[in-house]
Amino acid sequence: MAYDVYMFNKIGLKNPYGLSGTRSFNYLRTIDVPRAPLGEWTYSHEVTITEKSPNTNLIAVPFQATNVWRDNMDWFNHIVIENIRVTDNKVNIGLRTSYFYKNDYRGYTDPAARLHVFETHNEGAHSGWGVYIRGATDFTAITSNTQLGFIVWSFSGVVTNALTLPSNLPNRNSQLVLAYWDHSSAVVEYDHVTNRVTTNGNAVQMDIIIIQSGFTPPLKNGDKGLFLFNKLGQPVITNHYPPIKAPGTIHIGRNESKVYERPLVPLARYGVFFTGSTGNARCWHGGLKMQGGRVSIARGTYFLSGTHKTGAGNEFYSECDTIVLNRDDYF
């Protein structure tokens, strides 16, 4: 790109970081999906996002794509997101469930699944004053400086089995963790309870970013760098945190998908895999594999064995679209 506006940020992304093509990325809410009606194998849950602003696009990203538990009759149960559909201001989540012993929910803990919902402001007419950034949101026209999302942390290095992410960032309630790696066998997961990225025992070279939203960008006396202010005099971009580029879409599922040579994809647990039957059952989380930019769901960390009851050799995993970023825009 021949012409651009650049910022020197404090979190170690590409330095200088070009702002062309960036978008506001505003966290709106978290959807906690309720359990299925008793006796249902498939069901859907739809939410109207009343917080959506005009001329924006909604993005719903799985944060907890599966729920697994063992009931007091020792049956192993699960719920998994099958698809996500966004239409205007409505988010519809389709789910699949396992058989529930006597159609009850003994041992179940809410929620069935969890998604973060964001909106992106489209490129549009700029306000006529300030800094013009090609192909980007008109940040100066945003009237609330909390309606912004930024990359608040980045990491590039080797993760050996597990990496605990920082807990002192501005707004973990809105957090998305995206990563790129290239490995023949590693299956990578993000555990939102322990706030850890795991690689299932492998040493993996990874690039990781954390996106958060719903907070005021920092502005401190003595700071030097690029600062943009909206019409109310509030900071909307500072040199602390860069905004994200306009996100694309990738399909997450059992078959490989590829959008970029080096994609950054949201980490979560996207399924459950189990083998054996009563008295000899073993269970694994479903994480993500990535090699040569091709992404798919695969069997990850081992988490449950013993005398519980399951069907033998079953796999339950998501088939849903989610966001993808181009790693080379950031590192």
pLDDT tens digit string along 217-256? 988 777 877 888 888 888 899 999 999 999 999 999 999 9
pLDDT of 148 > 60? The answer is yes
Q: Which of 103-112, 120-129, 229-238 has the lowest mean pLDDT?
A: 120-129
pLDDT of 293 > 70? The answer is yes
Q: Is 101 exposed, middle or buried (0-12, 13-18, 19+ CB in 10 A)?
A: middle
Asked, as a colleague might, if the bond just before 111 is cis with ω within 30 of 0, I would say yes
Mean pLDDT of 134-160: 91
Q: What angle do CA 274, 276, 279 make, to 5 degrees?
A: 115
The full 3-state SS of 36-83, as one line of letters, equals CCCCCCEEEEEEECCCCCCCEEEEEEEEECEEEEECCCCEEEEEEEEE
Q: pLDDT at position 72, please?
A: 78
Q: pLDDT at position 311, please?
A: 63
Q: Which of 25-34, 56-65, 66-75, 134-143 has the lowest mean pLDDT?
A: 66-75
Mean pLDDT of 205-217: 95
pLDDT of 121 > 60? The answer is yes
Mean pLDDT of 60-78: 86
164 within 8 A of 198, measured Cβ to Cβ: no
Residue 90 lies in a domain: yes
pLDDT of 199 > 80? The answer is yes
pLDDT of 55 > 80? The answer is yes
Q: How many CA atoms lie within 13 A of 109 on its CB side?
A: 7
Reduce the DSSP state of residue 102 to 3 states and report it.
Answer: helix
Mean pLDDT of 144-160: 93
Mean pLDDT of 41-68: 93
Q: pLDDT at position 126, please?
A: 62
Residue 197 lies in a domain: yes
Q: pLDDT at position 300, please?
A: 95
Average pLDDT, the chain: 90
CA-to-CA distance for 52 and 33, rounded, in angstroms? 19
Reduce the DSSP state of residue 311 to 3 states and report it.
Answer: coil
Residue 28 lies in a domain: yes
For 141, phi then psi, to 5°, come to -90, -5
pLDDT of 77 > 90? The answer is no
pLDDT of 60 > 80? The answer is yes
Mean pLDDT of 134-158: 90
Alpha-carbon torsion 167, 169, 172, 175, what sign?
negative
Residue 1 lies in a domain: no
* Domain housing 74: 6-329
pLDDT of 120 > 80? The answer is yes
Q: pLDDT at position 313, please?
A: 62
Residue 243 lies in a domain: yes
CA-to-CA distance for 230 and 195, rounded, in angstroms? 34
CA-to-CA distance for 172 and 213, rounded, in angstroms? 9
Q: How many domains does the chain have?
A: 1
Q: Is 131 exposed, middle or buried (0-12, 13-18, 19+ CB in 10 A)?
A: middle
Residue 157 lies in a domain: yes
Q: pTM to 2 decimals? A: 0.93
pLDDT of 209 > 70? The answer is yes
